[in-house]
Each structure stands twice: as C-alpha cells, then as structure tokens.
Amino acid sequence: MNNFDELGSDLNEKEYEDCGRYQVQILCLICIGSALQSSAHTVFVFSAMNLEQRCKVPECDDSLAPEFNSTWLSNAIPFDGNNPKNCERFQYINLTAYDGGDECPAEQFDQNVIEGCSEYVYKTKERTILIDFDLHCDENLWKLTLVGTINTVGQFVGLPISGVLSDRFGRRTLLIIGMVGCGIFGVIRAFVHDYILFLVFEFLDALFLSGTYACCFILGVELVGPNKRVLAGTIICYCFAIGEVITAGLAWAIQSWRPLLLTVYSPLFLFISYHWIAPESVRWLLSQKRYEEAEAILLKAATVNKKEISKATLEKLTKPVEEEPSEPFFHVFKSKILLLRFINACFCWITCAFLFYGLTLNSVALAGNSYLDFILTALVEIPAYALTYVVVDRIGRRWSQSGSYFITAIACFVFIFIQEEQSTLRLCFYLLGKFGATAAFTIIYVISSEIFPTPLRHSLMGACSMFGRIGSMVSPQMPLLSALWTPLPLVLFSGMAAVAGLLTLLFPETVNTKLPDTIEEAVNIGRKRKESSHL
C-alpha cells in the first residue's frame, strides 16, 4: 500500500496542509458522528432504568393522584430501612366499626400477612419499560439488566463483522450503513409493546452501531498528519463523552422512554447525507487502488486549504510499493513471551470495559439525581482524556496505566465505607473511580498498539477488544449483585482494578520505542530497554 504519511512528508507547505480548514471541517462531521453514536449507545441506560415504586393501596390511596410518601404508609406497607418495599403490602381488614381519626390506621391491616401488588405508585413521573412491560418487583430486575447485556452481545457479534466490512467497502460506507440501520431499529423499538421484541431490536440496533465509533475514530486519525493523530483521537473521545451528556440531558427533560428513543435515533437518518458531504479515507482508497477518487479528495482539500498540488506529486500515489509480508495469527503461539503478553492484555481489556461501563451504568443507582450523576460521570471522562494525553509520554505507558487502575481501585474501596448521608463525598470518590477507569481504557489502546508486531497488530488488538466485551456484558448485571450484597459491585471493581494494576507492570515500556515489525522485535522490546539502562 502507498505510504500516505511518507507522501505527506515530501510535500511542502505550498502544496499540502495535513491539518487545515478542510480537515477541521471534516473532523467536525466526524465529531457529530461520535457524539450521536455515543448517545444511541447509552440510551438503553434510561429506557430500561429501574424506578422506585410501591404497592398501590386502593383502600387508602387517592384514586386519581396518589402520593408516594404518605403519613399512613408504614401501616399498610412493610419497609426496608427507610424505603417502602416495592412489591409487598399488608393484608387489609375491613373494620366497619372503626371510628378513629387516622385516614388509614394500622388497625385496618393485618401486619402478619403479606400480599403482592396488583397496582403500583411511583415516586417520580418517569416512564421506562418497567411500566409498559410490567417488569416490577425484584424478581424481574434481571429483565431490566438483561437489556444492557443484550446491547453488548450485539456489539460483540457486530465488531468483527464491521471490521471486515470496513476494510472491504470503506469506513464512510460502514459509518452510513451502521448509523442509518441503528436509527431504523431504534425507531421501531420505540413502538413495540412486547418485551421479547424489544430485546430483538435492541440486539439489531447494537449490531449495526457496533463498528461506527471505530469508523469515526479511524476516519479522524487517517484524516490528519501523524503529529496530529493523537489530538484528533482525543477530540473524538471528547465528543463521545458529550454524546453521553446529551443522552442524559434528553432523558432528564423527556422522562419517557418512547419519545426519548425517537428523539435520540431520528437524527441518525441524517447520516445518509454523509455520502455527499463527507469524504472516504484517502488511505483506504489508496489501499484499494482507487487512485482517481483519492486524487479528487486531495485536490479538494488543497483547494479549501488554498494550496495547489502538482501533477508530479499526485503521480507518486500510484507508484508501486513493496507490500509488507503477512503473518498468520497463530504465529503468536510460537512465542511464550508474546502469548503471555496477549493473555495479560486480554485481562486488562476485560477489566477496563468492566470498570468503565460498570461505573457508567451504575451511576444512575446512586442516591442523588440519576440524570445529574450520569452527566457528571460522563463529564469526568474529558479531564481523564486530557491527562492521558499529557502523561503517557512523560511517565511512560506502564506506570500511567497502573496508576490509573489503582486510582479506580482505591476510590471504589473508599466509596464502600462512606455513609449515604455524605452524598457529596460519595459522588466525588465515585467520579474519581470513573476518572481512573477512563484513563486506563484510553492507555490500554496505546499499549496494545505498541507491543504487538505489525503483521499481527490489527488482528491481536481486535481479539483483545473482542475479549474486552466480556467485561461490557457483565457490567449491566451489577444491580443484581447489589441486590445480594450492596457493596459487592464496588468490591469487584476495586479488586479487579488492583489486580490489573499489578499485571500492567509486566508489560514492557514502549515509550519512545520503534513499533515492532516482526515477532522477534516485539519480544525484544523490554530486553533492549533493560540492556540500554545497564550501559
């Protein structure tokens, strides 16, 4: 494949600008894609959110506007601490001779006999699938958490497919198909009245959406020159966090899952216009030997940037180059060191996904405002990305990654012992945990891209990412573990983060190290640094 970076280095500033007005315009389109992808990716958190509920007591409640908290409530409903149980009530006794002053006295209920509910009263006016699909009570909590797991399964299935399709048909094509397909199934899901159908369309939605963020990221980093790639990637990550904030803001304003889905998914149909307003990756076009299309994009970029590329320069695009030899995936098993690094990387990916998505999804279960907590949990990603951008080259990949894990481990461990009354302190430590998880997730991308040899780099990173989805699949189930023992999810977050923080130190340091092109070079990364340190 023609090396576009080498071509760019041969051009002078009069001919080509790798980060000019044209690149900024296209990057804005890509950032819109990143934000809307993130919004569609996280909306299930609010459509399948659990709600505070209690049994409706027809004998006592106002038939038109029942209050969730009433002075007589403890007479009719058993309590769990300070909260009424969500699906239990005491048996009503019809005492016609009663002449007391209370509107619903304890004497009218047999508190030794517990009954189930036929109707419910909700603490807020929010409406999720819990109401429409009758998923009340703790025994149905797994049906709510299953939505998030099904979403992740759809991504797990779609990721390898999207990678193949992206390399075959182009990044822009897959982005358009993925976004529009996701929009179709998302809008359909807003009208279904069956839980199973809801899950089917949740899976299809995630299946189409799975590769779109990677398309945005690849289009962004392939758009600019090598010295601007980290910056472009960081900006795209910022937009992902902004998309999460948009989702929570819309959910907070709308508070009903059907119009929320319509609001989030309808804009995705606008991506049809990207066929005309967004260019395909020049590097991908060159790899497919579609030189005329690549030249047209370069000429347009030069025109917008007020540059002029000579015909001789463009002819370099079609100059034959020697292809890098391919190497089968199973060759990784020939090296014990490389195999152990791959296994270690897979565990770190699983941990990153488990921490990142677990802390994100669990934020709506904090004691405060669910929407505000989610927004703050998303916004804390932005300083995490910024800090990562600064520290990975200064203190090294290993220590940055390990430190990020231990920030999460310590924050989650301390959070367990903070009283619920100290809501501000609890939120601060929770956000600190999400901060560390975000940084760790960002750095593992860097480490994984630098410890594997060039012929196997994409396939091994893809395998690590696929294993990482195991952590994503498990994370929505944390409310079930919390029902068994409230601190259990935080114990798991803290424990896995601490273990991964130690295992990360087994990776070789790759800062300022040439990317390995062969298995032998990959194996010798750590050895060469140790030898040079002893000289």
The pLDDT, as a whole number, for residue 502 is 97
Residues 131 and 161 placed together within one structural domain of the fold: yes
The strand pairing partners of 256, in sequence order, are 127
The pLDDT, as a whole number, for residue 440 is 94
The pLDDT, as a whole number, for residue 4 is 55
pLDDT surpasses 70 at 328: no
Torsion of CA 514, 517, 523, 527, to 10 degrees: -30
Q: Which of 158-167, 311-320, 407-416, 464-473 has the highest mean pLDDT?
A: 407-416
Helices (H), 305-335: 311-315
What distance, in Å, lies between the first and last C-alpha atoms of the chain? 39
Residues 311 and 411 placed together within one structural domain of the fold: no
In a domain, 81, yes or no: no
Residues 302 and 404 placed together within one structural domain of the fold: no
Q: Which of 131, 197, 158, 124 is nearest to 41 (CA)?
A: 158
**What whole-number distance in Å separates Cα of residue 166 and Cα of residue 487?**
42
In a domain, 379, yes or no: yes
In a domain, 43, yes or no: yes
Share of the chain above pLDDT 90, in %: 46
The DSSP call for residue 81 is T
The pLDDT, as a whole number, for residue 330 is 64
pLDDT surpasses 70 at 173: yes
Over the stretch 236-267, which tens digit does the pLDDT of each residue have?
889 999 999 999 999 999 999 999 999 999 99
Per-residue confidence at 5, pLDDT binned at 50, 70, 90? low
Tokens representing 360?
A: 């994100």
Last residue of a domain, one of 289, 317, 345: 317
Buried b (16+ CB within 10 A) or exposed e, 355-379: bbbbbbbbbbebeeebbebbbbbbb
**What whole-number distance in Å separates Cα of residue 218 and Cα of residue 159?**
14
Over the stretch 468-525, which tens digit does the pLDDT of each residue have?
889 988 888 888 888 788 889 999 999 999 999 999 999 998 887 777 877 888 888 8
Residues 255 and 139 placed together within one structural domain of the fold: yes
Average pLDDT over residues 58-86: 86
289-294 long-range Cβ contacts below 8 angstroms, 24+ apart: 291/317, 291/318
Q: Which position has the higher pLDDT, 520 or 35?
A: 35
Per-residue confidence at 353, pLDDT binned at 50, 70, 90? very high
Residues 288 and 352 placed together within one structural domain of the fold: no
The residue range of the domain holding 330 is 324-529
Helix (H, G, I), strand (E, B) or coil at 420: coil
Per-residue confidence at 535, pLDDT binned at 50, 70, 90? very low
The strand pairing partners of 26, in sequence order, are none
The pLDDT, as a whole number, for residue 83 is 84
In a domain, 104, yes or no: no
Tokens representing 412?
A: 């989650």
The pLDDT, as a whole number, for residue 17 is 59
Residue 76 vs residues 61, 264, 292: alpha-carbon distances, Å: 11, 41, 77
Last residue of a domain, one of 317, 350, 374: 317
**What whole-number distance in Å separates Cα of residue 30 and Cα of residue 218?**
10
Residues 455 and 426 placed together within one structural domain of the fold: yes
Residues 303 and 378 placed together within one structural domain of the fold: no
pLDDT surpasses 70 at 530: no
The strand pairing partners of 496, in sequence order, are none
Residues 281 and 349 placed together within one structural domain of the fold: no
**What whole-number distance in Å separates Cα of residue 202 and Cα of residue 341?**
35
Helix (H, G, I), strand (E, B) or coil at 153: helix
Residues 264 and 348 placed together within one structural domain of the fold: no
> Side chain identity at 223, as an amino acid letter?
L
In a domain, 149, yes or no: yes
In a domain, 87, yes or no: no
CATH number of 430's domain: 1.20.1250.20
Q: Which position has the higher pLDDT, 204 or 210?
A: 204
DSSP character string of 487-522: THHHHHHHHHHHHHHHHHTTSPP-TT-PPP-SHHHH
In a domain, 332, yes or no: yes
Residues 43 and 186 placed together within one structural domain of the fold: yes
Average pLDDT over residues 265-276: 96
The pLDDT, as a whole number, for residue 182 is 97
Over the stretch 107-143, which tens digit does the pLDDT of each residue have?
888 889 999 988 999 999 999 999 999 999 888 999 9
In a domain, 246, yes or no: yes
Structural domain count, the chain: 2
Residue 242 vs residues 209, 261, 380: alpha-carbon distances, Å: 17, 18, 11
**What whole-number distance in Å separates Cα of residue 512 and Cα of residue 337?**
21
Q: Which position has the higher pLDDT, 516 or 398?
A: 398
The DSSP call for residue 115 is E
Identify the helix (H) or strand (E) that includes residue 409: helix 397-416
Per-residue confidence at 467, pLDDT binned at 50, 70, 90? confident
Q: Among the listed ranges 29-38, 328-337, 400-409, 429-438, which one has the minimum average pLDDT value? A: 328-337
Last residue of a domain, one of 317, 344, 366: 317
Residues 57 and 176 placed together within one structural domain of the fold: yes
Residue 466 vs residues 109, 157, 434, 471: alpha-carbon distances, Å: 55, 9, 22, 10
Q: Which position has the higher pLDDT, 448 or 315?
A: 448
Over the stretch 369-397, which tens digit does the pLDDT of each residue have?
889 999 999 999 999 998 888 888 888 88
Residues 294 and 340 placed together within one structural domain of the fold: no
pLDDT surpasses 70 at 292: yes
- State the average pLDDT for the chain: 85
**What whole-number distance in Å separates Cα of residue 283 and Cα of residue 290?**
10
Per-residue confidence at 534, pLDDT binned at 50, 70, 90? very low
The pLDDT, as a whole number, for residue 8 is 52
The pLDDT, as a whole number, for residue 532 is 47
Q: Which position has the higher pLDDT, 243 or 462?
A: 243
The pLDDT, as a whole number, for residue 346 is 93
